[in-house]
């Protein structure tokens, strides 16, 4: 142990002279400096457990500040040892310091030496019961004063044997308003409630959230939600797009919840975040302007793509060049080689991660070549444009081939020789069989079920992209159940089956892996499963803490999961299936964006006619 630490321990040893005149038993103990090596634990000490988890912390404190309270000892019956009858934790901490070489075994320890007929058990019990622990508020204010005196949180942690996290949390609580701290000291506020209020450093906001809120609505999650309702989470797509570093460099402030997980961080200046996102987004469309599009717009919300009433043009696949075909073949062989290698790796082998990264890179290269093979007609492209928006995860989402309403007439004239066009300017998709047609159904029940299942998956994906419609869709089903689900003469069906169930579409589709809309829906479902709490018991509090726009997105996913437009064999739910058509119409569903009949399907189509 450093010399200063030895001196700090020894400095507490002060020999006290008893007064010449006085009672035989003095209230002032005989204080001596006794080498640590001559001390031993007494069997009469009432504290049998030394709280091993706190001994290292106490040891650090003694090393930094010296032994503030003397040990109480008695001369052992045999030998030159002294038994510690009070102060077992301090003795254990001193022993740990000596064992670790932080003090010398011969270091002098200040001790109160008992003699005479004193009851050792009584002395030990008195020391451990007649004391009061410092309150939490007193500890908080003590840490705050140390910081004011120039001590860093790291130094405080080291000198008091606390973790950095604990010290920072205590200092965060020190930012509570004096009125809130008074409530905490009087146990009118629980520690969890105080932690929730500490999310904000604004004393007026803290006091308003507590004193202006009914007692029944003061749960920690409610208080936290009140203080962060105008903030933006660090996991929000705008934040991910801009980056917290760029936001802070621009002068934006953050609110960090030191009492929750690392992701619970908020940006307190939404206006600044929107400005930064807009500025960054304005640079994004430049590369597209030179590629023949008539117009390029930006949007902070991807939902604008689906609510603008746009028509569409679609690319066609060209035959790969010899070079592209050769590269695709090479990449395919390389992919198979690495995939086989992964299968042979032992579980936990670090090489698996490296090979999986290589597979992802190959997939990206293949996708780039395939995308390059998708080309737009030049004349149609001259009438269309693109919207560049911020999608999930803060990634750029570029929607190409959008046609404004004023250009639809020209597009219609351009396409006139090729296809019949509906009056609204949009090419009509082939209709599914109608039970009311005079002509008998041309398709088998199995094929109809598959087609309607594919369309249902597409409707789910479209609704997720248009969350503003989810509330209306959900209300339709709920209003039907609440107001119309009674008299038998009402026959109101809904394709939105709000039962909390998810109809599995996979059994209805012959080749699920080849169905792009089903794959995308399954991906959406999986992504959200990682966003919501893993424990259902935490869901209620989690929902109350979310921003309204985040809840709207989740509502869209949940309602989408309950869309059922599948027409199975012997299915007589004509009203439900009719409503499925209304849902598709409201979504402006264009199946050409979600599905293209491949050779296997066309073969089945011929066999089922």
SS3 212: coil
315 pLDDT exceeds 50? yes
Q: Which residues, at least 6 apart from 200, have a Cβ–Cβ distance to it below 8 Å?
A: 206, 209, 227, 228, 255
Q: What value does the CA radius of gyration of the chain take, rounded to a whole number of Å?
A: 37
121/340: higher pLDDT: 340
Average pLDDT, integer, range 245-250: 93
Using 50, 70 and 90 to split pLDDT, how confident is the model at 10? Answer: very low
* pTM higher than 0.85: no
Model confidence at 147, pLDDT cuts 50, 70, 90, reads confident
Residue of 230, 188, 232, 231 lying closest to 210 (CA atoms): 188
pLDDT of 273 reads 93
Residue 515 to residue 144: CA distance in whole angstroms = 61
Looking at residue 491, its pLDDT comes to: 45
pLDDT band at 603 (very low <50, low <70, confident <90, very high): low
Residues 6+ apart with CB under 8 A from 301: 389, 390
Give the tens place of pLDDT for each residue, 555-585: 888 788 878 888 877 665 667 777 888 888 8
Q: Which of 101-110, 113-122, 262-271, 563-572 has the highest mean pLDDT?
A: 101-110
Look at residues 114, 142, 145, 135 and name the one whose alpha carbon lies nearest to residue 45: 114
The lowest-confidence range among 34-43, 83-92, 591-600 is 591-600
Span 408-453, pLDDT tens digits: 888 888 876 544 444 444 444 444 444 444 434 456 777 778 888 8
Do 246 and 276 form a contact (C-beta atoms < 8 A)?
yes
Whether 608 shows a pLDDT value over 50: the answer reads yes
**3-state secondary structure string, 469-489?**
HHHHHHHHHHHHHHHHCCCCC
Res 530: pLDDT: 64
Quote the pLDDT of residue 124.
Answer: 64
pLDDT at 423: 46
Average pLDDT over residues 585-596: 79
N- to C-terminal Cα separation, the chain = 92
For each of the domains in the chain, give its residue range(s) and CATH number, in order of start.
3-129 (3.90.1530.30), 136-274 (no CATH), 288-415 (no CATH), 445-607 (no CATH)
pLDDT tens profile 275-284: 999 999 888 7
Q: What is the distance between the alpha carbons of residues 292 and 328, in angstroms, rounded to a whole number?
A: 27
Which of 183-192, 366-375, 493-502 has the weakest average pLDDT? 493-502
pLDDT higher than threshold 70 for residue 507: yes
Residues 251-298 have pLDDT tens digits of 999 887 777 655 578 899 989 999 999 999 888 767 677 678 899 888
pLDDT exceeds cutoff 70 at 394: yes
The predicted pLDDT at position 290 comes to: 67
| pLDDT attached to residue 181 | 92
* β-pair type (71-75, 108-114): parallel
How many other CB atoms sit within 10 Å of the CB of residue 462?
A: 24
Residue 232, SS3 per DSSP:
strand
547, 233 contact by CB (below 8 A): yes
Q: Quickly list DSSP for 290-314.
A: TTT-SEEEEES-GGGGTSS--EE--
CB atoms under 10 Å from CB of 296, counted, come to 18
The residue that leads in pLDDT, 180 or 285, is 180
Please give the Cα distance from 411 to 401 (Å, whole number): 12
Quick one: which H or E segment has residue 30? Answer: strand 30-35
Looking at residue 304, its pLDDT comes to 62
Write down the mean pLDDT value for the chain. 76
């Amino acid at each position: 142990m450093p010399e200063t630490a030895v001196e700090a321990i020894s400095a507490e040893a002060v020999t006290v002279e008893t007064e010449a005149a006085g009672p035989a038993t003095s209230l002032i103990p005989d204080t001596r400096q006794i080498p640590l090596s001559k001390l031993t634990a007494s069997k009469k000490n009432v504290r049998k457990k030394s709280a091993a988890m706190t001994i290292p912390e106490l040891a650090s404190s003694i090393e930094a500040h010296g032994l503030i309270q003397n040990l109480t000892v008695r001369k052992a019956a045999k030998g030159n040892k002294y038994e510690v009858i009070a102060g077992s934790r301090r003795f254990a901490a001193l022993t740990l310091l000596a064992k670790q070489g932080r003090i010398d075994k011969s270091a002098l320890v200040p001790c109160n030496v008992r003699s005479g007929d004193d009851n050792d058990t009584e002395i030990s019990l008195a020391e451990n019961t007649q004391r009061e622990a410092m309150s939490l508020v007193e500890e908080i204010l003590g840490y705050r004063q140390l910081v004011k005196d120039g001590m860093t949180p790291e130094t405080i942690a080291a000198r008091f044997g606390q973790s950095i996290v604990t010290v920072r949390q205590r200092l965060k609580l020190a930012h509570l308003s004096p009125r809130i701290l008074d409530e905490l000291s009087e146990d009118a506020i629980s520690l969890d409630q105080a932690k929730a209020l500490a999310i904000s450093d604004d004393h007026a906001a803290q006091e308003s959230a507590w004193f202006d809120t009914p007692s029944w609505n003061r749960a920690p999650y409610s208080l936290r939600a009140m203080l962060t309702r105008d903030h933006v989470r660090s996991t929000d797509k705008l934040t991910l797009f801009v980056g917290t570093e760029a936001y802070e460099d621009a002068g934006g402030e953050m609110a960090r919840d030191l009492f929750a997980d690392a992701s619970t961080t908020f940006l307190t200046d939404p206006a600044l975040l929107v400005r930064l996102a807009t500025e960054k987004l304005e640079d994004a469309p430049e590369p597209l302007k030179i590629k023949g599009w008539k117009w390029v717009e930006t949007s902070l919300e991807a939902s604008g793509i689906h609510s603008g009433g746009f028509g569409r043009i679609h690319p066609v696949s060209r035959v790969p060049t010899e070079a592209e075909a050769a590269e695709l073949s090479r990449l395919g062989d390389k992919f198979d080689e690495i995939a086989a290698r992964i299968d042979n790796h032992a579980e936990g082998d670090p090489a698996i991660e490296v090979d999986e990264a290589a597979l992802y890179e190959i997939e990206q290269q293949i996708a780039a070549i395939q995308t390059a093979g998708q080309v737009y007609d030049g004349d149609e492209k001259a009438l269309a444009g693109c919207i560049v928006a911020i999608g999930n995860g803060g990634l750029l989402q570029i929607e190409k081939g959008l046609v404004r309403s004023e250009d639809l007439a020209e597009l219609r004239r351009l396409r006139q020789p090729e296809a019949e066009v509906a009056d609204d300017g949009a090419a009509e998709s082939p209709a599914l069989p109608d039970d009311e047609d005079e002509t008998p159904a041309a398709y088998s029940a199995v094929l109809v079920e598959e087609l309607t299942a594919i369309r249902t998956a597409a409707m789910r994906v479209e609704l997720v992209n248009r969350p503003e419609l989810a509330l209306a869709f959900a209300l339709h089903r709920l209003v039907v159940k609440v107001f119309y689900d009674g008299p038998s003469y009402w026959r109101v069906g809904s394709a939105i089956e709000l039962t909390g169930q998810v109809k599995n579409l996979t059994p209805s589709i012959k080749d699920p892996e080849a169905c792009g809309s089903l794959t995308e829906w399954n991906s959406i479902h999986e992504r959200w499963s990682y966003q919501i709490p893993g424990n259902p018991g935490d869901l209620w509090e989690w929902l109350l803490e979310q921003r309204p726009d985040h809840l709207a997105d989740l509502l869209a996913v949940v309602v989408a999961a309950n869309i059922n437009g599948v027409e199975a064999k012997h299915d007589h739910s004509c009203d439900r299936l009719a409503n499925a058509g209304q849902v598709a119409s409201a979504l402006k569903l264009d199946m050409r964006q979600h599905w293209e009949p491949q050779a296997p399907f066309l073969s089945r189509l011929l066999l089922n006619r």
